[in-house]
Structure 1
Amino acid sequence: MLGDLNKGALIDFLEQQVIGRLGCHANGETYVVPVNYVYKDNAIYSHSGNGKKIDMMRINPQVCFEVDEIVDTFRWKSAILSGHFIELFGEERQQAMQGIIHRIMPLTNRPSEEPSHGINPAKHEDIVVYKIMLTAATGKYESHEQGKY
């Protein structure tokens, strides 16, 4: 059965996942990249070192975000979100980064040995923390098991 995720199921899905794909477009180029994220209060929160996606979002803050969970060809969920990039500073930046750390770090077996996504922890000030304020969201699923999704 194919179906739409209702608002509650869509929010639950976004809160359960931690990896999504960010799509940005600037200067005639489209760029899609996977990112770790946290969903809270109609926004996607994430972080990055300076680079291509941050440069592109600063030029054009309108972005697309995709999240999926694929069990197999006939059992999956997917969400497509639209919103705008907002770079965070001060207390909001600090709170967002703490939320990301608290959500992501328990998912690793060896947090002190894991890579830092290309970010040098000694240069914490170089980390760009941002949110994507959502303006639209849809979700779909397919399942052929009773009660699944």
Structure 2
Amino acid sequence: MPTPRPQFRDLGREECLALLARHQVGRLAFSRRDQVDIEPIGYVHDDGWLYGRTQPGTKLEVLTHNRWVAFEVDEVRGPFDWASVVVKGGFYVLRAQGSAQEQELHAKGVEVLRRAMPATLTPDDPMPERALVFRIHVDELTGRAAAPG
């Protein structure tokens, strides 16, 4: 008996947001010179933004000059049983020092991140080297899913 053809469909906005809310790790894609790079990152979705942490390095230097990124998270149960969400938007580092607005945005980012990891930027932080807080604006949100036929 032949294998039934899988069914593919676009996800609606609410389905995309629900998938983002169910997860805390996704993949960040960005352009570096003439190449595309992709890295796994932890995140928290909140009110049209993805918040995360990183450490100083090449990725951050690149994103300071070209802040347009793509971010992907998925659920895979099998080759034809999955859902995937892609976010496209601007990448912004939230600085603890600076103007009152910058400090307020940084404090909001830390507050959001502490929902997933309460020890974020405290003496008990298991990743103190990841002291830079960032957020990605959800400018574009798309999703696709496959289901067995």
From 83, 99, 117, the counterpart of 2:112 = 99
SS at match of 2:70: strand
Cα distance in 2 between the residues matched to 1:28 and 1:128: 26
**Hey, what does 2:35 align to over in structure 1?**
29
Q: Which secondary structure does the structure 1 equivalent of 2:138 belong to?
A: strand
Structure 1 residue corresponding to 2:140, chosen from 136, 139, 142:
136
**Selected match of 1:2 from 1, 8, 25:** 8
In the comparison of the two structures, how many residue pairs are matched?
132
CA offset digits 1:62-109 (Å, max 9, x no partner): 111111111111211101111011111312212212221221459xxx
Q: 1:1-149 residue pairs with structure 2 within 5 A? A: 1-89=7-95, 90-104=103-117, 115-116=126-127, 119-120=128-129, 127-144=131-148
Contact 1:47 1:97 in 2 (8 A): no
1:46 Cα deviation (Å)? 0.7
In structure 2, distance between residues paired with 1:78 and 1:68 = 4
Checking the alignment, whether the CA contact within 8 Å between 2:46 and 2:112 is kept in structure 1 is no
Amino acid of the structure 2 residue aligned with 1:47: R
Structure with greater helix percent: 1
Which 4+ runs in 1 deviate beyond 6 A? Answer: none
Stretches of structure 1 that go unaligned for 5 or more consecutive residues are: 107-111, 121-125
Structure 1 or 2, whichever has the larger Rg, is 2
TM-superposed deviation, 1:22: 0.4
Q: TM-score, normalised by structure 1?
A: 0.79
Q: Is the contact made by 2:88 and 2:140 (CA closer than 8 Å) also made in structure 1?
A: yes
Identity score, percent: 24
TM-score by length of 2: 0.79
Letter of the 1:49 partner, please give it: Q
